[in-house]
Structure 1
């Protein structure tokens, strides 16, 4: 896949209405969501939506269509939205578990931290736990990991991390 500056002439479509711009400015200062369609429709073009959580639910506040799903092209789409919204500097941006997306976000918005969405975090855990990585009781380990991820505060987080680290799963498995 192309990932070079000479590809700058390739197709790029970015859309944002005035209403979407307003919602991004109002609700997108702390956290936004970058949601990509991964071959979910019949056309072979990557579509990315930037969304925010408003007082009435999750809303698309900008979108872009790219020629290829590369870090370079994702950065191009994000850069246009960034230029159109000079006051928009999200602290966090939630992405799929995709290194190209994470890198594009963090390079386009320096200081912005990428969060992994719950679905992809859970998917990665399920793929990792098991005999191939020396995990004997995947369900028990997953329960502990979920407790950590769902901690409502720092004290509970520290307590649940302690439970995992004192478990035989942790003590007997250097990979974990």
Structure 2
């Protein structure tokens, strides 16, 4: 049923027709997928542009959704918070890979439409994404999403190389996680550094210290 709504039996041609048709004004950048180049589509509607101009000066969230089509291409969404505290998108990007080079190109296009460099971007722990943002927005700080930080810590602590995996080390893992909760509660950089130093001092005397830090 969905296939009948396509402009062409070839998906690449359907995309080309769609992006060069009535939605062309919403396309900031389009690079077709070929054997020699990656697919890159960057979209922004007038409403998105307005939200970017009004709310993107402070914090911009970067969200990645994988496998949005049959080719498993990721969708990148840049999101800001409006006056009502709601997250609203300011740009979409569909790409055929998540390499730093591809992300730098996409972010470079989006960068041209920001009124000024945001104070900070909040991302997950993807290093290609972080490196691309630092290259394109050198004046913006990079913040890690707390959910992904805790997820990474828990996954690491559950591995044998952490030195604190298994049921016998449950209390040790809980102590480490508890300190990360203290780090989250810090309200200033100075407080964060002090708590980090306390963390190091606390676990430095433990035999599993080399595995933790």
Change (3 A) 1:155 1:72: closer
Conservation of the 8 A alpha-carbon contact between 2:108 and 2:136: yes
- Alignment pair present for 1:28 and 2:63: no
Aligned to 1:55, the other structure's residue is in SS state: coil
TM-score of the superposed pair, with normalisation by structure 2? 0.70
Whose radius of gyration is greater, 1 or 2?
Answer: 2
Matched, 1:161 2:190: no
Once the two structures are overlaid, the 10-residue window that deviates more, 132-141 or 100-109, is: 132-141
Q: Find 2:187's aligned residue among 149, 152, 155.
A: 152
Any idea what the Cα deviations from partners look like across 1:74-98, whole Å, max 9, x if unmatched? 112111111233x231121111111
Pairing 1:1-176 to 2, within 5 Å after superposition: 9-39=37-67, 42-56=70-84, 57-85=86-114, 87-130=115-158, 132-135=161-164, 136=169, 137-153=172-188, 156-157=191-192, 160-167=195-202, 169-172=203-206, 173-175=209-211, 176=213
Structure 2: which 5+ runs fail to align? 1-33
- CA RMSD for the aligned pairs? 2.4
Asked whether the equivalents of residues 68 and 74 of structure 2 are also in contact (C-alpha less than 8 Å), the reply is no
Question: Which residue number corresponds to residue 3 of structure 1?
Answer: none
Q: Does 1 or 2 have the higher relative contact order (CA < 8 Å, sep 6+)?
A: 1
Paired positions, count: 169
Task: Give the match's secondary structure for 2:112.
Answer: helix
Q: Which runs of 5+ in 1 are unaligned?
A: 1-5
Maintained 8 Å contact 1:95/1:117 = yes
Deviation, structure 1 residue 102: 0.5
User: TM-score normalised to the size of structure 1?
Assistant: 0.83
**Kept in 1: contact 2:38–2:96 (CA 8 A):** yes
Where has structure 1 moved over 4 Å in runs of 4 or more?
A: 6-9, 40-43
Structure 2 vs 1, CA of residues 132 and 49 (structure 1 numbering), >3 Å: closer, same or farther?
same
